Amino acid sequence: MRENDKLLYKTLKTLLNERLSETEAQSLKDEGFEVKNPTRKTAVMVALYKKAAAGDLSAIKELRSIVSEKEPEKTGGVRAVTIIDDLSGQTF
């Protein structure tokens, strides 16, 4: 990793780990998200979740990617693939 990339990575990590202000934390609570010690990372993940819940395919894929990063440790490194034919009968 180049020096600039390292600096950007460290800066972003620092920003994401900062606690949310009381106003921002209250906004999450008002939306129904009860989170202890909310950080900017929490806010980003909630925003990503909301987009995925609204049907944004790229957000769904990103959430799946994030969640599955930890799964191989639990399953011994084997990940199952499920193929869903939700396009049958459609013409393109």
State pLDDT tens for residues 12-34. 999 999 999 999 999 999 999 99
Q: Does residue 49 contact residue 62 with C-beta atoms inside 8 Å? A: no
pTM surpassing 0.85?
no
- The model's pLDDT over 58-83, given as tens digits with 9 standing for 90+, comes to 999 999 998 987 655 555 555 666 66
Would you tell me how many other CB atoms lie within 10 Å of the CB of residue 25?
18
- The SS3 call for residue 91 is coil
**Every domain of the chain and the residues it spans:** 3-75
